[in-house]
Amino acid sequence: MRSAKDINEKIAWQDLTTGCEIYEPGTSRLTKTGEWRSRTPVWIEEKCKQCLLCAPFCPDASIPCKDGKRSEFDYEHCKGCGICIKVCPFDAICWQDEMKDKEGTK
Amino acid sequence: MSIRERLSGNEAVATAIRQINPDVFAMFPITPSTEIPQYVAQYVADGKVDTEFICVESEHSAMSACLGAEAAGVRAVTATSSAGLSYMNEVLYVAGSLRLPVVLAVACRALTGPININHDYSDSFAERDSGFIQLYAENNQEVYDNYLMAHRIAEHPDVRLPLMVCEDGFITSHAIENIELEEDAAVKAFVGEYNPENYLLKKENPLAVGPYGVSAYYMEARVAQAQAMINAKKVILDVAADFEKTFGRKYGFFEAYKMEDAEVAMVIMGSSAGTAKVAVDELRAQGIKAGLVKLRVFRPFPGEELAAVLQNCKAVAVMDKSEGFSACGGPLFAETAGACINLDKRPKMIDIVFGLGGRDFTVDAAKGVFNRLENIVKTGKTGPVYTHMGQRG
């Protein structure tokens, strides 16, 4: 049984699985979809109160959380939908291209 | 021991379904296939099968429910006709590409328009590129036998493709004929249990079905699917050989009827072949070397084998029971002519579109076709290649 990590753009048609089935869970991690992003959200850690509202709203699990705290975006999978920016009550996330317009941000 | 019975084609299909006892039947009714789910519903109500009978809201949903069930790991079947088959179109392609061996009974009926409920192959021929294997039958016995072979062909690991068991709407689906049924236990033993290696409900091994295929994968996926259809040829013959050993009735890609020394021949499908055989017999009695090829397997198309059986004929008429609107011949003609193109010596070939929307086809009409072929042989001139037959005017 072929594992998802062995399926890539170099393999021959004979080496695909039947019907392109994938025989294991969680394989979307292997596919770097962050390059689809046209705009990039930025986390401003000093403004963040760790309320964790952003993480469950992220449609792509691109906000890693551990021990009750979020950390830096997973930019290999974040597609830049901006929902986290909308839901953050503390303006602790903003678009990278709007950063310089924001007062008090770097 | 075989059981002598009298059944319609739809009853024959329903009987096969009862004997096979599939896990899921997803149903939406349409003439002339409606009787199939009707009989199966009765079997469910009477406790003769433990099939999950799902009444859905459309044929699109019926095929979708079959896909879901097959992906989950069980046998799923349905039946339809005409516009119902067209409405399944999108999902038929999904079944093919997901390699889910759904078995679909089609009582072939003309597509609109004008709106019509009678027989031709415009519905099933329109799905020739969908990735379904297609088996056709001359009569009730062949429909029943094809259905008994269907699951084994479709589910074979080298194939894993969905399959249509086609019968001629009304002519076969509703006409009651003598038939030899096989015993329930013998059918169950022949068809066997369905044990897919991977399926959605296999908890030890979660499965994802139908992932997105970007350009870097799509071509490879399609080649793999095309190879499965090529593989189906051997499996169809292997299953037919085992069927003959088990039940005594012989099947191949086609039936070559009096073709050994035939000079003029017809390529034809379904119930019309029975009529044309009478014409062949009558012409043979007059010393005319007539023969016919009744195609049973349209997908995969047995091009090489068909060319081999036609190559020594002088003139061949391809009988298309579907108007493809190509302005140069129907689908069966295009494929038959294509199959013969690389023969060193090939027969002259004409296409006759006939029997549309249930238009009658008679022994005299079949003799008329052979008469045309005789003239082609005599004069050496093919004449018009693409013509219609049986219409007024």
Structure tokens at B6: 């009298």
- pLDDT at position B371 is 98
- Whether residues A2 and A40 fall in one domain: no
The DSSP annotation for B356-387 comes to GGG----HHHHHHHHHHHHHHHHH-----SEE
Give B262's Cβ-side CA count (13 Å radius). Answer: 27
- Whether residues A36 and A83 fall in one domain: yes
Q: Which of B198, B216, B223 comes nearest A23 by C-beta?
A: B198
- Whether residues B19 and B156 fall in one domain: yes
Q: Which of B67, B78, B64 is nearest to B30 (CA)?
A: B78
Question: Which CATH number covers residue A43?
Answer: 3.30.70.20
CA angle in degrees (0–180, nearest 5) for B216-B217-B222? 130
Contact between A16 and B205 using a beta-carbon 8 Å cutoff = no
- Whether residues B229 and B293 fall in one domain: no
Structure tokens at A27: 């394989």
The enclosing H or E element of B89 equals helix B82-98
- Whether residues B25 and B167 fall in one domain: yes
The DSSP annotation for B279-309 comes to HHHHHHHTT--EEEEEE-EEES--HHHHHHH
> A101 and chain B: CB distance < 8 Å anywhere?
no
- Domain holding A14, by residue range, is 1-27
Amino acid at B61: S
> Would you say B267 and B255 are in contact if contact means Cβ atoms under 8 Å apart?
no
- pLDDT at position A106 is 44
Tell me the nearest-neighbour CA distance from B50 into chain A, angstroms.
29
- Whether residues A8 and A58 fall in one domain: no
Is the pLDDT at A102 greater than 80? The verdict is no
pLDDT tens, residue by residue, B39-58: 999 999 999 999 999 999 99
Structure tokens at B194: 């369905």
* Placement of tokens 């044309």 in the chain: B276
Q: State which of B247, B281, B315 marks the end of a domain.
A: B247
Instruction: Give a yes or no: residue B393 inside a domain.
Output: no
- pLDDT at position A24 is 87
How many C-beta atoms lie closer than 10 Å to residue A36's C-beta?
Answer: 10
Contact between B220 and A24 using a beta-carbon 8 Å cutoff = no
User: How many residues make up chain B in this entry?
Assistant: 393
Contacts A21 to B, Cβ<8 Å: 198, 207-209
The DSSP annotation for chain A comes to ---GGG--TTS-GGGSPGGG-B-SS-GGGGS--GGG-SS-EEE-GGG------HHHH-TT--S-EETTEE-S--TTT-----HHHHH-TTS-EEEGGGGGGSTT--
- pLDDT at position B112 is 96
What is the distance between the alpha carbons of residues B84 and B72, in angstroms, rounded to a whole number?
24
Contact between B213 and A20 using a beta-carbon 8 Å cutoff = yes
Confidence of residue A103 (pLDDT cuts 50, 70, 90): low
What is the distance between the alpha carbons of residues B308 and B362, in angstroms, rounded to a whole number?
28
- Domain holding B312, by residue range, is 254-388
Question: Which CATH number covers residue B262?
Answer: 3.40.50.920
Q: Which of B99, B219, B223 comes nearest A18 by C-beta?
A: B99
pLDDT tens, residue by residue, A44-59: 999 999 999 999 999 9
Threshold 0.80, pTM exceeds:
yes
- pLDDT at position B1 is 78
- Whether residues B243 and B375 fall in one domain: no
Q: State which of B206, B231, B247 marks the end of a domain.
A: B247
Pairing between β-strand B163-168 and β-strand B24-27 as defined by DSSP bridges: unpaired
Contact between B211 and A18 using a beta-carbon 8 Å cutoff = no
Contact between A20 and B217 using a beta-carbon 8 Å cutoff = yes
- Whether residues B66 and B207 fall in one domain: yes
Structure tokens at B129: 């590129």
- Whether residues A57 and A91 fall in one domain: yes
Any residues with CB less than 8 A from the CB of B170 and at least 6 apart, and which?
B32, B107, B109, B117, B118, B119, B358
Question: Which CATH number covers residue B117?
Answer: 3.40.50.970
pLDDT tens, residue by residue, B279-314: 999 999 999 999 999 999 999 999 999 999 999 999
Instruction: Give a yes or no: residue A55 inside a domain.
Output: yes
What is the distance between the alpha carbons of residues B64 and B44, in angstroms, rounded to a whole number?
21
pLDDT tens, residue by residue, B116-163: 999 999 999 999 999 999 999 999 999 999 999 999 999 999 999 999
Question: Distance of CA B240 to CAs B40, B173, B269, B381, Å?
Answer: 26, 23, 18, 40
What phi, psi does B76 have (nearest 5°)? -130, 135
- Whether residues A60 and A79 fall in one domain: yes
Instruction: Give a yes or no: residue A81 inside a domain.
Output: yes
From first to last of its 393 residues, chain B has per-residue pLDDT tens of 799 999 999 999 999 999 999 999 999 999 999 999 999 999 999 999 999 999 999 999 999 999 999 999 999 999 999 999 999 999 999 999 999 999 999 999 999 989 999 999 999 999 999 999 999 999 999 999 999 999 999 999 999 999 999 999 999 999 999 999 999 999 999 999 999 999 999 888 888 999 999 999 999 999 999 999 999 999 999 999 999 999 999 999 999 999 999 999 999 999 999 999 999 999 999 999 999 999 999 999 999 999 999 999 999 999 999 999 999 999 999 999 999 999 999 999 999 999 999 999 999 999 999 999 999 999 999 999 999 999 999
Number of domains in chain B: 2
Nearest CA in chain A to B98: A19
pLDDT tens, residue by residue, B129-139: 999 999 999 99
